[in-house]
A and B are shown apart, each in its own frame.
Chain A
């Protein structure tokens, strides 16, 4: 970094600050600019390792299977990324997804509403729930952690109260709600509509985050809320819109969930909530807000899927899979802390 030229000698501190970067610092800076690189490296290395352990790993059919397996978590992690970018966290996404899937399922299966209408009501419920979270966070100014811890219990209870613990099977749901289970063949890959929907969610939100002023404002609010407000960003409106959008994304995930299980049930995807946070964190998005990419989250979700799938192909106990994921999370957050220090240093 060259400082002010033409104003005489550099001071000792300025000479120190303009010393050449070491290789490690250069890596640190690169990762600071592109937080999705580190999970990508982990994903590539892990894929090679699992291919060595089992030659069935890198086949088209297994990769299709991984994509189908991660579709729920991957979809849920889209909304989670959005919330975490604003320096928040949403503990209620998993519970809300199950609640919305039960609303859709009950309306179509028990009440007999047309599938499309049940789907739209589900989306509306998702957005309404997001609005409640958003009002509590942005207007009442409760910490997101506490807010969503509360709504987590509320949504779980509502889902159980509504369904009395029973499931609605795919045959009763109709073709619209189970549309996400329809297979789609792309070359040698056997995907489902649910997988395509998940990828579409990434592309759509990715566009909004990177190419619209709303996306800029999301990053700005996560970076420094007070500064953004003084700079003329309507921070309260941004936060509200983030939680409503996250609610809609969760409702879309509920649709993916119904297709994947071919049923609406309260016993599905109970770990989904924490897994979505795992995907975001492994993907290099900072829990402190303002930094991270949706590409990273997609890679993070894939990494979780690859670890689970690869370890089970290599016949490793399920408990060791969970252990490996845990170590990945800690490594990812430690890396994030290290990267964040570049900003403070210079």
Chain B
């Protein structure tokens, strides 16, 4: 964006999308959506089933290619074709399905797709993995996030509970220095206590200056952690509200079409 003013309130968005459209044959999933994500904020995306939340997220994270529209990261135009492209641009995603390999252990999953190799000819010629370094770093990263539910980094993911798996997935997303984290329904499968832990982690991310996009059905969760809330309805943006200006009931009314956002 060109309007780089000095005031912090009008800072440059780290992620900015304009006019995103995605259709699947005759089905219009999203119909011209604009999104801005600012540094150090938690932006929640809410909407009814079929409102196009998942499609929007997939377009922002390279899992789908939008038919029309532009995406900019730090003011730079990006054409994501794969999730790796988005990852390289600094956008990490925790999918609802978590994308963990169940038969591998926690350390192997944290480093999946970016394994470390031994220094010297062992790594260079023989391409040997540096297992000890990966294990050590995995332990550091997990404990730095304050995730208490994971104790043994060599545990096979298949043997973990839902909350523990979520923690591993989030740890992987934030462990590699990216600035934008997208969380798709991170608390949908969790109990109250595990949900509280995940929200704690989300608040921790904001304190570290990261930007978070949070997709959730759970209004209390959303109103607890979000700075701004983007309400989607029938593939379009029905409005952007904040927890200070609107109540959860009002947000739901906009989401379902019972009320509309007249002002702004």
Contacts and interface: CB of A to CB of B under 8 A. Distances in A.
Interface of A: 2-8, 17, 32-33, 207, 211-214, 216-217, 219-220, 222-224, 226-234, 290-291, 342-343, 346
B83 A232 contact: yes
A343 B165 CA distance: 13
B81 to A, nearest CB: 13
A226 B97 contact: yes
A60 to B, nearest CB: 34
A213 B104 CA distance: 13
B156 A33 contact: yes
A214 B98 CA distance: 22
B129 A212 contact: yes
Contact of A3 (B87, B129, B149): B149
Contacts of B148: 4-6
B151 interface: yes
Pick the most buried of A207, A216, A233: most chain B CB atoms within 10 A of its CB.
A216
B63 A216 contact: no
Contact of B101 (A4, A5, A219): A219
A232 B113 contact: yes
A155 B114 CA distance: 38
User: Which 4 A-B residue pairs are closest in the complex by CB-CB distance?
Assistant: A232-B113, A343-B158, A230-B99, A213-B115
Contacts of A342: 158-159
Contacts of A217: 112-113
Contacts of A2: 151
Secondary structure dominating the interface of B: loop
A4 B160 CA distance: 13
Nearest to A11: B191
A227 B100 contact: yes
A216 B108 contact: yes
B102 interface: yes
9 contacts: A4-B149, A5-B148, A223-B102, A223-B104, A227-B100, A227-B102, A228-B113, A230-B83, A232-B87
Interface residues of B toward A: which range? 35 or more
Contacts of A6: 148
A338 to B, nearest CB: 15
A230 B95 contact: yes
B71 to A, nearest CB: 18
Interface string B137-164: 0000000000011010000101101000
B112 A228 contact: yes
Given A6-B148, A7-B193, A227 B99 contact: yes
Contacts of A228: 99, 101, 112-113
Contacts of B159: 342-343, 346
B256 interface: no
A290 B103 contact: yes
A343 B87 contact: no
Contact of A216 (B104, B151, B161): B104
A231 B100 contact: yes
B18 interface: no
Contacts of A207: 126
A133 to B, nearest CB: 23
B77 interface: no
A217 B113 CA distance: 7
B113 A231 contact: yes
B136 interface: no
A72 to B, nearest CB: 29
Contacts of A231: 99-101, 109, 112-113, 172
